[in-house]
Structure 1
Amino acid sequence: MQDTDPTPPATQCSNPAVIADWIRLAEAPGVGCRTAQVLLDAFGSPAAILSAGRAALAAHVPANVAAALCAPLPSETARLLDLTVDWLARPAHHILTLHDADYPEALRHIPDPPLLLYIKGRRALLQQSLVAVVGSRNASTQGRANAENFARALSQAGLCVVSGMALGIDTAAHEGALEGPASTIAVIGTGIDRVYPARNRLLAHRIAEEGCIVSEYALGTPPVANNFPRRNRIISGMVAGVLVVEAAAQSGSLITAQMAAEQGREVFALPGSIHSALSKGCHHLIREGARLVETVDEVLEAMRVSPLVRQGTSTAPVEDGVLLDALGYDPIEPDALLECFGGDAALLAGELLALELAGVLERLPGGRVQRVVRAA
């Protein structure tokens, strides 16, 4: 048995041979995330698993699984490997394995972490402070507005917003977060080369350009009902907290919230009318211990003390006086202040929020900000 380091020092995601072994392990009949983890704990790597031999494997997994891992490479898996190599060669396409150094650390430690993450877009967002915003597909107008407004403010405060790219609350959350510098991550329940639902095709393209799309499913995987609840464990597992904006009593977002609670994440819920069916789920969560929140500040206050939210960055904060001098007294685009922060948009957003909460800065229509001058 080999010792395994859960966080190897170097990334392997650019090595096609390594990725091929991970895909073969993930696609082997009878091998799910938990079985794969048993084998990885025992043998150390997919390559070692695939070369271990049936007898050695059968000491850890059922005989039929051991036989499947030792069988010749199936033709469909071979085609999938070729397809994946071609996909990976395109710009902004990435694959992270469970053993890669930049695999999201919080996700690595859930009971059944994905073996592979297919990524399209800004992979670095996975290393940022993350919060999920989820809710009903059949959302009300007010619910969609709340999701968009909360997500925009969270992104402006430096928290990247994670959601599932479903219609309704998820869509509004992604759209709001894209208006802030911390952007958004969409975790999907199909292969990353598919867009589901089709009505979100333009949104998916925008997220791939300005944010990040993530899937654990192999290329070509169609929308299968069982995949979406499993997708939710990734949403909750990646983040420090989950905000449920609007949810019916049987909403799938309650699954995400339940998983978040089991994973030790913060769970927030917006209250609603006692007469609205779309408030039933949130009210249930509140009765079960979720934090009732009415403002973004309440979410931010709780998130700042979470061990999963970064307490600092590689760039030192700028003194308030320096930032105020850069602000001047006229309306200004936040992007014009980025030089003060070495290009760190999330850090700038956090400092601007601090000034806003202190009452010395206000936000203007169109995203601009302006220093507040108070009379003596």
Structure 2
Amino acid sequence: MKFPVEELLATLALLKVPGLGARRRYCLVDCFGGASAVFAAPRDKIETILGPGHCALPFLQKGLDGIDVGSEINWIEKPGHHFIPLHHPLFPPLLKQIPDPPVGLFARGDLSRLFKPQVAIVGSRRGTPGGQDVARTLAAGLVERGFSVISGLASGIDGAAHWGAIDHNGSTVAVTAAGADRIYPAAHRRLADKISSCGALLTEYSLGIPPRREHFPARNRLISGLALGVVVVEAASRSGSLITARLGGEQGREVFAVPGPIRSPLSAGCHQLIKQGAKLVEGIEDIVDELPRFKTPPASRDPIQEQEPGSVVADEVLVGSIDFTPTPLEVIVDRSGLTDQQLSSILLGMELRGLIAATTGGGYQRIK
């Protein structure tokens, strides 16, 4: 399945328009049917969504020529780097279901891990040694049962959950609150590199964007949106983890909480959740028994990223499958032995690098 390069570029540009938050960007894309249509829309139509005189209007009216996305394209072309617009076939299906999904995701790592069933483990940045041990133990139990563990790369409980998955050869996904080229906290750079090798790092923020206070609640909606359930381990009564749990409940996800000592302030948030109906967790089965049944995907093959878009191997697989004259997509599929889903990312990367060009009728032809 081919994804239009124009839509990818327009989505990258939309993410750089100042004055637009995630909800308004989604409203624009949803209303006009795509990011490229937003830039082509009449001013009065855009004003019905943003309001008269909105600061983003001049940028949207200038069109794509007024916004430089060269840095983003260079980042995407690096091995293991990806950008997934909302309507791309590789955009995580669960995330599309939330009320305000991101219009695009920057990703570093293995996109196939986004299609594994995921469980979020979140908690205090100042988690106790005991709490972090619980997070690691639960993460290990989840990956042993075929789940991927998702969290926010933060210090404390989040980091422990990621390491628990990694140390047991499992899959883990981190959603960050800064640009795709930034790691926060900086102390977790090694952890981030590990995650990119056995899972994926995700963000909705463009390059160069620093972590800001308002980014973290927005990030939390993606953590819960990607997961089947949210497990809270150690959280104060006013905690970002409770925001993740609340958003998870609003999104129809299962919510779990691990109880703790009654005198510990880091138990207050979890006990509050349990009073509100969250499932009390004493062991891994308390989580697994509440989640939808699923078939564990085979671990021997990587269905989406066997050939990584932008890699020499991927290009070599396709270079002999595409002629210097228009070649229908079904012919490329037959010659390469790859699926439509695999071809989508590889062809897009080759087109961005100027190796091939899309032709009328949905085919491609070689340029170099």
TM-score, normalised relative to structure 2: 0.77
Maintained 8 Å contact 2:10/2:64 = no
Maintained 8 Å contact 1:148/1:177 = yes
Match of 2:41 among 48, 52, 55: 52
Maintained 8 Å contact 2:146/2:296 = no
Deviation of the 1:56 alpha carbon: 3.5
Change beyond 3 A, Cα 1:35–1:11: farther
Maintained 8 Å contact 2:172/2:200 = yes
Match of 1:164 among 125, 145, 152: 152
Deviation of the 1:20 alpha carbon: 1.8
Hey, what does 1:100 align to over in structure 2? 88
Alignment partner of 1:178 is 2:170: no
For 2:260, give the aligned amino acid: G
Deviation of the 1:123 alpha carbon: 0.9
- Which string of whole-angstrom CA distances, capped at 9 and with x for unpartnered residues, describes residues 282-302 of structure 1? 001101110001000111111
Hey, what does 1:71 align to over in structure 2? 62
Deviation of the 1:313 alpha carbon: 6.0
Cα distance in 2 for partners of 1:199, 1:235 equals: 21
Q: Where do 5+ consecutive residues of structure 1 fail to align?
A: 1-9, 306-310, 316-337, 346-376
Alignment partner of 1:37 is 2:26: yes
Maintained 8 Å contact 1:11/1:101 = no
Maintained 8 Å contact 1:11/1:102 = no
* Secondary structure, aligned partner of 2:291: helix
Change beyond 3 A, Cα 1:42–1:67: same
* Secondary structure, aligned partner of 2:168: coil
For 1:61, give the aligned amino acid: L
What are the within-5 Å matches in structure 2 for residues 137-148 of structure 1?
A: 137-148=125-136
Alignment partner of 1:121 is 2:112: no
Cα distance in 1 for partners of 2:95, 2:194 equals: 25
Maintained 8 Å contact 1:11/1:100 = no
For 2:247, give the aligned amino acid: M
Change beyond 3 A, Cα 1:314–1:232: closer
Cα distance in 1 for partners of 2:76, 2:30 equals: 27
Hey, what does 1:276 align to over in structure 2? 264
Hey, what does 1:83 align to over in structure 2? 71
What are the within-5 Å matches in structure 2 for residues 271-350 of structure 1?
A: 271-305=259-293, 311-312=294-295, 342-343=300-301
* Secondary structure, aligned partner of 2:295: coil
* Secondary structure, aligned partner of 1:155: helix
Deviation of the 1:59 alpha carbon: 4.1
Q: Percent identity?
A: 41
- Which string of whole-angstrom CA distances, capped at 9 and with x for unpartnered residues, describes residues 227-254 of structure 1? 1111000000110000001111112111
Change beyond 3 A, Cα 1:168–1:41: closer
Maintained 8 Å contact 1:129/1:240 = yes
Alignment partner of 1:136 is 2:124: yes
For 1:47, give the aligned amino acid: S
Maintained 8 Å contact 2:112/2:302 = no
Maintained 8 Å contact 1:16/1:85 = no
- Which string of whole-angstrom CA distances, capped at 9 and with x for unpartnered residues, describes residues 124-172 of structure 1? 1111100000001101110010000110110111000000010000010
Maintained 8 Å contact 2:221/2:244 = yes
- Which string of whole-angstrom CA distances, capped at 9 and with x for unpartnered residues, describes residues 90-109 of structure 1? 11100111111121111111
Deviation of the 1:188 alpha carbon: 0.4
Cα distance in 2 for partners of 1:240, 1:283 equals: 21
For 2:25, give the aligned amino acid: A
Q: Where do 5+ consecutive residues of structure 2 fail to align?
A: 304-368
Alignment partner of 1:224 is 2:212: yes
For 1:64, give the aligned amino acid: G
Maintained 8 Å contact 1:186/1:212 = yes
Change beyond 3 A, Cα 1:190–1:137: same
Hey, what does 1:211 align to over in structure 2? 199
* Secondary structure, aligned partner of 2:277: coil
Change beyond 3 A, Cα 1:250–1:117: same
For 1:114, give the aligned amino acid: P
Aligned length: 301
After superposing the two structures, state which structure 1 stretch, 155-164 or 247-256, moved more.
247-256
For 2:115, give the aligned amino acid: Q
Hey, what does 2:139 align to over in structure 1? 151
Cα distance in 1 for partners of 2:2, 2:84 equals: 8
* Secondary structure, aligned partner of 1:269: strand
Maintained 8 Å contact 2:80/2:108 = yes
Alignment partner of 1:257 is 2:250: no
- Which string of whole-angstrom CA distances, capped at 9 and with x for unpartnered residues, describes residues 337-376 of structure 1? x6xxx5489xxxxxxxxxxxxxxxxxxxxxxxxxxxxxxx
For 1:249, give the aligned amino acid: S
**Aligned-CA RMSD value:** 2.1
Hey, what does 2:342 align to over in structure 1? none
For 1:270, give the aligned amino acid: V
